[in-house]
């Protein structure tokens, strides 16, 4: 049973952080299952730091796992993992190692969680690059365009064909349905 008092005493950011370690908090986040898209941010500044890299990557993975395991996300959910400050990663001395770690992280997330979601995508952004290696707002155009593209709220599922096993069942096919004006 979710504890509503937990979310009252914490800021929204702290509630999300708390939900990663305490699955009962997920029930206090009604906006997650109602959202058209969920964006999880992977802090590029932390990824560029060799000491914080594993923690940054693990926090995104754990957040996605807890939301899926507790029913906040499911087969109708669109999840986007956005790596911020990609300019810091590109400028890092161990950029190749970071790229490999990010590639492995994305492959593992796709293998583990994509079958449980409607969509899982990855985006790299850099709001402003002081070294001018990336254009201002790099990657934001495609991300915002995706957010602005309407998606159908509900998709109709095709019903499986009826298994007509008895003569009474087959009578349903032979009998015209009455319609009322």
Q: Which residue has the tokens 């507790």?
A: 70
The residue range of the domain holding 156 is 35-174
Domain count, the chain: 1
Edge to edge, the sheet with strand 38-42 lists: 38-42, 78-83, 119-124
pLDDT score of 103? 95
pLDDT at 156: 60
5 in a structural domain = no
CA 87/CA 74 separation, integer angstroms: 33
Residue 17: inside a domain: no
Q: What is the 8-class DSSP label of residue 76?
A: T
Instruction: For the chain, list residues with pLDDT below 50.
Output: 1-4, 6-7
Tell whether 97 is covered by a domain. yes
Asked if residue 12 is part of any domain, the answer here is no
pLDDT of 84 reads 93
Question: Does any domain span residue 14?
Answer: no
9 domain residue, yes or no: no
Question: Looking at residue 98, what is its pLDDT?
Answer: 93
Q: What does the pLDDT read at residue 170?
A: 76
144 within some domain: yes
User: Model's pTM, two decimal places?
Assistant: 0.75
């Amino acid at each position: 049973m979710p504890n509503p008092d937990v979310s009252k005493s914490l800021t929204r950011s702290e509630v999300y952080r708390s939900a990663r370690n305490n699955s009962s908090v997920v029930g206090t986040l009604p906006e997650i299952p109602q959202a058209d898209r969920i964006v999880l941010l992977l802090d590029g500044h932390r990824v560029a730091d060799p000491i914080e890299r594993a923690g940054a990557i693990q926090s995104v993975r754990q957040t996605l796992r807890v939301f899926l395991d507790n029913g906040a996300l499911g087969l109708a959910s669109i999840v986007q993992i956005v790596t911020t400050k990609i300019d810091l990663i590109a400028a890092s001395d161990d950029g190749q190692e970071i790229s490999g770690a990010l590639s492995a992280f994305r492959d593992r997330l796709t293998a583990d969680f994509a079958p449980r979601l409607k969509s899982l995508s990855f985006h790299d952004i850099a709001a402003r690059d002081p070294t001018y290696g990336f254009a201002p707002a790099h990657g934001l155009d495609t991300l915002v365009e995706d957010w602005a593209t309407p998606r159908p709220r509900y998709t109709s599922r095709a019903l499986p064909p009826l298994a007509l096993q008895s003569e009474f069942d087959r009578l349903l096919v032979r009998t015209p349905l009455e319609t009322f004006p």
